[in-house]
Amino acid sequence: MITRLKPYNPSASDLWADWHVVDADGQVLGRLATDLAMKLMGKNKPGYVPHMLSGDYVVVVNAEKIKVTGKKAEQKEYIRHSQYPGNRKVIPYERMLERHPERILTAAVKGMLPRNKLGRRMLGRLKVYAGPEHPHSAQVIGSANRESASGDA
């Protein structure tokens, strides 16, 4: 007789979300974005399920100091369109880095997340700040306290 194991399917109460602070100073854009996308999706956790919000919150600081390789600093462009004829906007990487450095990392991570409602909720858990300060220190400390309390038990 063959016994079949039941697949693990957690409920919403079984899942928890930690807070991570990542310093983007000197890191390469694409490599950092893949790491952030994995944390947002929850693929680094043993209880990962693709149909539920099982990822963590991620706070990124120093987004203005992110690096790109090769000629991307001169050639990369961000394109948006309002769906009106002739209203295509092309923004070079340098100008985006000057004006809105947090949007560079957000756009890179957004392209690596699922294109559905769950992916948009995952992207909402990403908090990107241009400078070294962020207003989420209480959540990060609470997450660290929960980890230490569960590790001791």
- pLDDT tens, 87-134? 999 999 999 999 999 999 999 999 999 999 999 999 999 999 999 999
Q: Which of 148, 151, 144 is nearest to 19 (CA)?
A: 144
Tell me how many domains the chain contains: 1
Separation of alpha carbons 41 and 54, rounded Å: 6
Q: Is residue 120 part of a domain?
A: yes
State the residue range of the domain holding 91: 18-148
Rounded percentage of the chain residues whose pLDDT exceeds 90: 80
- pLDDT tens for 65-77 read 999 999 999 999 9
Contact assessment for residue 78 and residue 107, using Cβ atoms and an 8 Å cutoff: yes
Q: Is residue 2 part of a domain?
A: no
Predicted pLDDT at 151: 63
Separation of alpha carbons 89 and 77, rounded Å: 10
SS3 51: coil
Strands (E), the chain: 19-23, 57-61, 77-81, 88-92, 126-128
| CATH number of the domain where residue 54 is located | 3.90.1180.10
Q: Which of 129, 137, 122 is nearest to 105 (CA)?
A: 129
Q: Is residue 8 part of a domain?
A: no
- Its pTM stands at 0.90
